[in-house]
Each structure stands twice: as C-alpha cells, then as structure tokens.
Amino acid sequence: MDIFSLAFVAAVLASSAPVLYAALGGALCGRAGLFNIALEGQLLWGAFSAVTVSWWTGSAWAGVAAAVVTTTLFSGILALGAVTWRADPIIVAIGMNLLALGLTGFLLRELLDATGTFAPAGLDGLPDLSFLDGVPLLGPLLARQTVLVPLAVLLAVAASLWLYRTSAGLRLRGVGEHPEAATSLGVPVSRYQNATALLAGALCGLGGAQLSLGNVTAFTENMTAGRGWVAVAAVMLAANRPLVVLGACLLFGAAEAWGFRLQGLGLPQQLTDAAPYLVTLLVLVASRLRVRRRLGAADPVAAVSAAHPETVVHPEESR
Amino acid sequence: MTGLLDRLRLRAPAALVPLGAVLVALLIGAGIMIAAGVDPLRGYDAMIRGAVSVSNIDYAVASFTAILAMSLAFAIPARMGEYNLGGDGQLVLGGIAAAVVALYLPVPAVLLLPACLLAGALGGAALASVSAPLSTRAGVPVIITTLLLSAPAVAFTSYLVRFPLAEQGSPVPQTPRLPDAAHLPSFPGTSYTNAGLVVVLLVLVLAVYIDGRTPVGYEIRVAGANRGFAAYGGLSVPRLTLGTLAAAGAVAGLAGAIIVMSQPFRFIDDALTAPGYTFAGVAAALLAGGRPALLPLTSVLFTILTVGSAGMERDVDVPRQLGQVLQAVVILVLALRVLAFRWTARRARGAVGGKV
C-alpha cells in the first residue's frame, strides 16, 4: 500500500481538516482557561446549518457563511452559561452536545423533510481547487480539496503566531495561566474568555461546513460521530499548542485515511471505523504518561490533580 | 415559625430548580410545537399516551428499566466527580457478553439466567474499568476516555453481529434467538416487562444503601467533595475511581444483558443504542442532582420523554427528536441553577445585614 504517495497525503489532509478546525477552537479556549468539550455539538451544528442554507440558497458559500454565524451564536450558550454565569462548563457542554444532536435531527425532518440522510441531487458543495491541476506538488495535494482544507493548516500556523508573537495573544495566555495576575494588569478576563468561546464556535462552523459540503456533500444524522471528542483529545495531547494540535489532527486523519484503504482490501468497515479513535486515545495516553513521569518526580500533588483540569478559571475565586 | 419560614425560603430553590428546569423545558417544547404547527396540548397528550396508555405501558416499563440502570451508571462515578459518558459502549458490551454466554457456553439451563446477567455486568465493567488507570495513572480525564472507548466498542459489537455471531440468512444484522432458558421471566400479561426490572431495582436499593450507609459510600463522597483532601486523609483515590467506574460499567452492562434477554431475545445491531438510553440516563441523574433515591422519579420523567416522543411522532407527526431536545434543555437549565443559588446567597447575606 503506497501510504507515502501524495494521493494518500491528500486523503489525510481532507480527513483531518474538520477535526483540526474544532481542535484549534478548543486549544484557544484552553489557553483562555476554558475547558471546551462542546466541540462535538458545535461541529454537528455547523455541518447541518451549512447544508441547510446551501440547499435553500443554492450557494455553498452562503452555507459556509451561515455555518460560521449560527455556530458562533450556538457557542454563545457556552460563553453565557460557563463564563458569564459561571455554570459548570462540563454540564453546559453535555447539554449543548445533546441539544445539537436532537435539534439537527428534529430540523432535518421539519425543514428538509428527510430522515437519516439528506443528500439531494443539486445540493451545492464547495468547489475543488482544480486550477492547481498540473502544478507540481500542490496539484496532487490540493487540486481535489476545497479551499477550507489549506485554510485550516494556515489557521493553525496563524493561531500559533498570534498566541506567541502578539500582545493580544500574550494576554490570552495570561488569562488562562494566571487570571488574578491578568486582572491586576487590567486585562478583562471574562471578555477574553467569552470572545474565545465565540471564536471556537466560528471555527467549528468552518469545520462543520468542510465536513458536510467538502468531504462529502450531504448531511447525515450525527455525522460528526465523535470527531469533536477526538478534537478534545487532540487539544489535551497538544497541551493547547496550535502547531502540535495540527500534528495530532494529521495523525487522526492518517488513521482514518488508512482505514479507508484497508476497507478497500476487504476489511470490514466496522473495524476500520474504530481505528482512528483508538489511535488518538493511545497516543494521548502515551504522551500524558511521559509528561506525568516528569511531573510526578517534581510534584506528586500536581500529578494527582492532573486528571482534573481546572474547567474554567475565574479571577476572584480563590484556588 | 419564622425560623421554619426562613429555612423554607432558603431551601426552596434547591427543590424548585429541578421542577423549574422541567417546566422551562416543557414550555420551550410547546413553543417548538407551535412553530411546527401542532397544538402543544395535543402534542403532550400524544406524548403521554405514547408512554403510559394501556397498549404502550408494557414497552415503556422495559425502557424505564434501561433508563434507570443508565442513570445509575452515570450517577455512581458522578458521586466522586467523574463523568461516565461511555454508557453506550458499556451497554453493548454487556449485551453481547450475555448473548455469547447464552448461545455458545455449555452452562446448565438452571444457571443460565444468572450466568448471562453476570457476563453482561462483567462485560460492561471491563470496558469502564479501563478508564480508571487512564485517569489516575496517565491523567486523561474519565469523561474523554469513556467517550472515546465507547465508539470502538459499539463498532466492535456491530462487527460481531454482522460476521462471526450473525444469524445465517437473516437480512438484519443480529444474533440467533437466545435459548429459552436465557429468557427473563415476564410478569403475567406482559411481554416486555420482566424480571429485569426487579434486578435493576435491587441494584438501585444496593447503591442507595452503599452511598448513604457505608464507609465506602462516605469515602466516595469525600473524594467527590475534595480529591486532594481525600488523598491527604489516606483514601486511595485510584482504588475508589476504579471501584466506581467498574460498578457503573457493571450496571450499564447489566442493562445491556437485560435488553438482550427480553423480547425479541436477540442482540440486534443498533437496537441497544438507537433509543438513546444512555443520555436519557445522564439527564435523569443530573436532574436527581446527587440524590440516588430520586433516580426512579427522574427516570420516569425521561422515560416518558423518550418513549412518548415516538408516540408523538406517530400521532401528531412531530419528529421524535423533540424528546432529545427537551432532555438537553433540562440539562442546560439545571446547569444554570447556580444562578438560583447565587440569588439565595444574596438574600441570605441581605438577611444578616450584608456583613458576609
């Protein structure tokens, strides 16, 4: 199996892109001190709204725009609930994930009159970058992808530069790392956290649109199938560093693309479907064990509480 | 008298919030029905009839059995602050383990029922237990590992009933029918309601007893209140995590075994996960808010939502996913109960002259 061919790398990029968008959103939230596990629901909502609006207007770009706007609004639940009103972000996120699952299934029936899957002829998908055909290297990699795939990679680089090279990025890191210190320097902690939660929504909107208008041109009930949770795992694995998040998501994409190849060799789909989740989990556990060994030697108490990340940090609460 | 009134006023929100959450959810549901062009009264009427009318109550009680078990599977680890969202995986592994024992192991007929139930419990417990060392040794939160392990487990059982365990010549991916000795005895005049309900109720009583009346239950709650203090006080947090997760997985696996050992006595692909027992259980456990004895009550409510929404779809053509939406709204409103508590705290501060 030619897993080093450019065609395989292209398949990996396509599989990773939706997860990468969600994971970038999650990583920024993590930097701001907000543990975001609502990514699954946000991604699913993005995928649904992209397909719906693309079908209504006949334009995939309108679908993408709608996905970004409505998923940002949806993310407002997390911002308002977990940041402004200080509810438990985990419970809010469980509610949001279930809400997205129920609401997309409900609206699929009510608005699009379909059950299970909506993939009519004439649903406008995002165009491929076919003008790259014939260009060496870029052609085989990107000519069959939508523009959202390279954009995801560029955004990972941009997020990294923004976090480490700008003063706003420094403030965001300060908000998550030491909210009291950030407050005493006049950084509005809640405003940064709210803005990041909404930004994560916008990113998940793009990811969802890539999933339902790029990777395929269809919406299926629960089509994210755990990708948002893989993104959460990628964020943990990368300890909120955008470039490492990129690597983790490529790994997931490689496992998924490799699974598709194995299906072609006659392996049952049920077994290959499971592989990306197990690979992600294994790598996450291995990396945490390594961190843990270093940490445990220095500070046993920190090692005990490492499995319980501070879910959201507020400045005036003593920790 | 005034003391009593004051206490009532301070305690009231604690009891009112769950009721308020349900009320808000029902109002939002009514709004959605109006938007969909359905009279909400007719909608809710169809929902309730879909669950508790004479022809449906039999099936609804069987669903209640599963939802009650899944609410325990979430509530037990939640007592020590761990979230088990992998109920689906534990449910199907329990179900497939029971089916394998019933179909392929040479167990004497009299012992087959307990053997299947035990296999189901072990199957679920085995999967859930994996998350414990991953949390205490590797530091990966339980909420992530339970969920990420659940999807492969569901895919694995789906593979098993399609290939190695499939009934030959059946168009549906399912196992052959279990032998008669592995059928849970039903109550007279019912076909779905069976001894499984009794089993789950016994487990519930046991859980309530352990939680409230034994040292282990106390230790679990201490670890939930303050993990660092528990470890400092000499409690073994890793052991408690393993114990609560194994118990939760066992209850979920038991639920899977009970479903497989009830009508139509097979493991059918998707049949265990499609009704959404896991998240109905999560919602029921959150609504009960750390009081295990309330689980039957909240489970009844979410059984009506889950089973009734199918009846609503049949009768008034409102998509059944409305039930899921209402569950989500209940959870979200419950999450915001901190608002009510903050409000009470402010009242209390005001009452003592604003000195606190």
pLDDT (tens digit per residue) in A107-125 = 998 888 888 888 888 888 8
Closest CA to B252 of B74, B54, B24, B12: B74
User: Quick one: pLDDT at residue A68?
Assistant: 95
Name the residue of chain A whose CA is nearest to B289's CA: A91
Residue with token string 């199918």: B310
d(CA B317, CA B32): 13
Task: Find the angle CA(A261)-CA(A263)-CA(A265) to the nearest 5 degrees.
Answer: 80
Q: Is residue A303 scored above 70 in pLDDT?
A: no
Please report whether residue A279 resides in a domain. yes
Q: Is residue A310 scored above 70 in pLDDT?
A: no
Please report whether residue A312 resides in a domain. no
Task: Find the angle CA(A12)-CA(A14)-CA(A16) to the nearest 5 degrees.
Answer: 65
Q: Which tens digit of pLDDT belongs to each residue from A33-58?
A: 888 999 999 999 999 999 999 999 98
Six-digit token string for B211: 């939680």
Q: Is residue A184 scored above 90 in pLDDT?
A: no
pTM of the model: 0.89
Classify residue A82 by its DSSP letter: I
User: Quick one: pLDDT at residue A319?
Assistant: 35
Q: Is residue A20 scored above 90 in pLDDT?
A: yes
Question: Cβ contact (<8 Å) for A230 and B148?
Answer: yes
Q: Is B85 on the interface with A (CB under 8 A)?
A: yes
User: Quick one: pLDDT at residue A138?
Assistant: 80
CA gyration radius, chain A = 20
What does each C-alpha distance from A36 to A43, A151, A236, A273 come to in angstroms? Answer: 12, 22, 11, 25
Looking at residues A7-31, what average pLDDT do you find? 92
Residues 230-269 of B with CB under 8 A from A: 231, 237
Q: Which tens digit of pLDDT belongs to each residue from B209-255?
A: 999 899 999 999 988 888 888 888 888 889 999 999 999 999 999 99
Q: Is residue A232 scored above 50 in pLDDT?
A: yes
Residue with token string 């209390």: B348
8 Å CB contact between A118 and A60:
no
Residues of A in contact with B317 (CB under 8 A): none
- H/E stretch holding A220: strand A219-220
Q: How many CB atoms neighbour CB A130 within 10 A?
A: 12
d(CA A220, CA A117): 4
Q: Is A308 on the interface with B (CB under 8 A)?
A: yes
What does each C-alpha distance from B173 to A160, B116, B157, B164, B341 come to in angstroms? Answer: 47, 21, 11, 11, 50
Q: Given A99, A225, A285, which is nearest B138 (Cβ)?
A: A285
Q: Is A105 on the interface with B (CB under 8 A)?
A: yes
Domain B62-317 has CATH 1.10.3470: yes
d(CA B119, CA B144): 26
User: Quick one: pLDDT at residue B63?
Assistant: 93
Classify residue B293 by its DSSP letter: G
d(CA B88, CA A262): 26
The band of A172, judged by pLDDT with boundaries at 50, 70 and 90, is confident
User: Quick one: pLDDT at residue B1?
Assistant: 46
Q: Is B81 on the interface with A (CB under 8 A)?
A: yes
Please report whether residue A167 resides in a domain. yes
User: Quick one: pLDDT at residue A317?
Assistant: 46
d(CA B352, CA B179): 69
The residue range of the domain holding A43 is 6-292
The band of A288, judged by pLDDT with boundaries at 50, 70 and 90, is confident
Task: Look at chain A and report how many structural domains it folds into.
Answer: 1
Q: How many CB atoms neighbour CB A138 within 10 A?
A: 14
User: Where does residue B185 fall: left (phi above 0), alpha (psi -120 to 50 degrees), or beta otherwise?
Assistant: beta
**CATH code of residue A234:** 1.10.3470
Which of A125-129, A262-266, A277-281, B51-55 is the most confident on average?
A277-281
Residues of B in contact with A285 (CB under 8 A): 134, 138, 140
8 Å CB contact between B86 and B150:
yes
Six-digit token string for B303: 């059984």
Q: Three-class SS of residue A168?
A: helix
Contact residues for B110 (Cβ-Cβ < 8 A; gap 6+)? B181
d(CA B7, CA A75): 38
Question: Cβ contact (<8 Å) for B332 and A96?
Answer: yes
Q: Is B143 on the interface with A (CB under 8 A)?
A: yes
Alpha carbon of B160: minimum distance to chain A alpha carbons (Å): 9
Q: How does the average pLDDT of chain A come out, rounded?
A: 86
For chain B, which ranges sit under pLDDT 50? 1, 354-356
Please report whether residue A16 resides in a domain. yes
Residues of A in contact with B283 (CB under 8 A): 98
The band of A183, judged by pLDDT with boundaries at 50, 70 and 90, is confident
DSSP of B27-70: HHHHHHHHHTT--HHHHHHHHHHHHHSTTTHHHHHHHHHHHHHH
User: Quick one: pLDDT at residue A313?
Assistant: 57
How many residues are there in chain B? Answer: 356
Classify residue A117 by its DSSP letter: E
d(CA B256, CA B268): 11
Q: Which tens digit of pLDDT belongs to each residue from A202-227?
A: 999 999 999 999 988 889 988 988 89
Q: Is B142 on the interface with A (CB under 8 A)?
A: yes
**What are the residue ranges spanned by the domains of chain B?**
1-38+320-356, 62-317
User: Quick one: pLDDT at residue B126?
Assistant: 96
User: Quick one: pLDDT at residue B38?
Assistant: 84
Q: Which tens digit of pLDDT belongs to each residue from B166-211?
A: 888 888 899 999 988 888 888 887 888 889 999 999 999 999 999 9
Q: Given A85, A90, A304, which is nearest B336 (Cβ)?
A: A85
